[in-house]
Structures are given as structure tokens and as C-alpha cells.
């Protein structure tokens, strides 16, 4: 099973680029971030005609997440537990059933958190604490799961072309990275780092200052796998070349292949 994550930075802006990539990559399941669309306006038809079941958790102009799947999506839930007053569309879950495993797919768009300090950074850290609690619950239930999406976290210095320029940014602050390590230390596997080591691997290049042409990127899109899912990991790659295409997102897809 091939499962992908892609922050598309607006479904309307990526109306051509997303179908092109889907036709080429042929993922079985995709989690999308920053669809920037209410549910009713999401262009389901262009995805359904490609064989995908579509579930969205949208929000006007901002945020928004979705799951696309060629397999049936079961027990779909929206919103990260832990704060009933949080109305930002950043979390969606569903179960897909493979040949011999039912997999809980969690799609997320973690808050950016800038500027630091301030309420946006407080919200980021609180959201990460809720994410930790959700992972702990799924582990306690012995549910095979993965959490995939735009984490807005640069885990290590090697995950940025110019780490010094990110030192005071919410994506690389010590508190952010500590929350990431605490999550991983539950026993989760960073799928990309399980397959590929070393610097120079990025999933985001800003639109500004020629970041793409200078390869001034960061790795902030991640798959975290529960232990039973990590045992079935075959590969994890970043589709870097998508960033150089016509009207690209500032992110590129990342995907895993699992024996499920």
C-alpha cells in the first residue's frame, strides 16, 4: 500500500498540479493539508473520477485537511481530541483495511506557531500536547496507525539547509523539537529517517528569495509510524521534483510503501 502526504497550499491553486501528480504517482491513500476550502466547495469530482473516496475537514480560506483513498474509508473522525473550543480544521482520521491489517490513518496540519513568543506559539505547543495524548491512546488500544502531514517541525539541524537562520523560528525552537522528540520517544518511527540518513533532504522551499533555485529548503513533512506499522515499512521517499513544476505548492509530496 502506498500512502502519501501533500500540503497543496490551496486546492484551487493546485487544480492542475494535484491531478497530474496523482496520475503519475498512483498512491492508494493520500492525506492533504491546507486545502483552504469549505467542504461544500471542495472539487471532489476530479478526485472521485480517479477512483478516490474523498473525506474533508475544511475551513474557509485557511487550513483544511482531507483524506483520499482508493479503499473504503471507515470510522472517519474530524478534529484532534482535547479541546472542544478549537475550531481550526487541522486533523482528520479514518481506517483503511489492507490485505491483512486495518490501519488508522491520521492526517494533520500542525500549527506554524509564529511569532514567538505569543499566543500562536502557545497554541502550537498545546496542540502538540494533544497530539501526544492521541498517540498514547492509539498505542494503548494497540491500534496500528500512522500520523502524516505537515508538522511544521524541523527535527534536527540536518533537516534545514541553513539551520542558523531558523534558530528563533517556531519550527526549530527547542521547545518545538523537544515536543517532537517526546512524541517519537513513545516508540514511533520517523519513516523517512528510517530509510535515508544525512543532510540535503527537504520537503518545503519558500516561494521567496529564490529558495528553490538555491535549494534552501527544510524537511517539515513527516510520517510517524506506530511499531506494528514500522515493521511493515518498505520505503519512504520525497517527490522533490514536483516543486520545480508549473504552479507548484511550496511543499512536495512525501510517501511510504507498506506491506499491508
The catalytic site residues sit at: 109, 150
Contact between residue 67 and residue 94 where contact means Cβ atoms under 8 Å apart: yes
Q: Which of 58, 62, 52 is nearest to 30 (CA)?
A: 52
Distances (CA, A) of 235 to 9, 90, 155: 25, 26, 20
C-alpha to C-alpha distance for 98 and 28, rounded to whole angstroms: 10
List, as one string, the DSSP characters of 108-140.
EE-----SSSSHHHHHHHHHHHHHHHHHHHHHH
Question: Whose grid coordinates read 527547542?
Answer: 174
Query: CB within 8 A of 103, min separation 6: which ones?
Result: 1, 95, 96, 97, 144, 145, 146, 229, 258, 260
Amino acid at each position: 500500500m502506498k500512502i502519501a502526504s501533500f500540503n497543496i497550499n490551496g486546492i484551487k491553486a493546485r487544480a492542475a498540479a494535484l491531478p497530474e501528480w496523482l496520475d503519475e504517482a498512483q498512491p492508494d491513500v493520500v492525506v492533504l493539508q491546507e486545502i483552504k476550502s469549505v467542504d461544500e466547495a471542495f472539487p471532489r469530482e476530479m478526485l472521485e473520477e480517479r477512483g478516490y473516496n474523498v473525506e474533508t475537514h475544511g475551513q474557509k480560506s485557511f487550513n483544511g485537511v482531507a483524506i483520499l483513498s482508493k479503499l473504503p474509508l471507515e470510522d472517519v473522525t474530524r478534529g484532534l481530541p482535547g479541546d472542544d473550543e478549537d475550531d481550526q480544521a487541522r486533523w482528520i482520521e479514518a481506517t483503511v483495511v489492507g490485505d491483512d491489517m486495518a490501519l488508522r490513518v491520521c492526517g494533520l496540519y500542525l500549527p506554524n506557531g509564529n511569532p514567538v513568543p505569543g499566543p500562536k506559539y502557545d497554541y502550537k505547543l498545546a496542540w502538540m500536547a494533544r497530539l501526544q495524548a492521541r498517540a498514547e491512546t492509539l498505542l494503548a488500544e494497540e491500534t496500528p496507525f500512522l500520523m502524516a502531514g505537515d508538522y511544521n517541525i524541523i527535527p534536527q539541524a540536518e533537516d534545514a539547509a541553513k539551520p542558523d537562520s531558523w534558530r528563533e523560528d517556531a519550527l526549530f525552537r527547542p521547545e518545538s523539537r523537544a515536543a517532537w522528540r517526546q512524541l517519537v520517544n513513545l516508540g514511533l518511527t520517523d519513516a523517512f529517517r528510517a530509510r535515508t540518513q544525512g543532510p540535503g533532504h527537504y520537503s518545503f522551499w519558500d516561494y521567496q528569495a529564490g529558495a528553490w533555485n538555491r535549494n534552501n529548503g527544510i524537511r517539515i513533512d513527516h510520517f510517524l509510524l506506530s511499531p506494528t506499522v514500522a515493521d511493515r515499512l518498505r520505503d519512504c521517499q520525497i517527490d522533490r521534483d514536483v516543486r520545480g513544476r508549473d504552479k507548484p505548492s511550496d511543499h512536495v509530496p512525501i510517501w511510504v510503501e507498506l506491506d499491508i
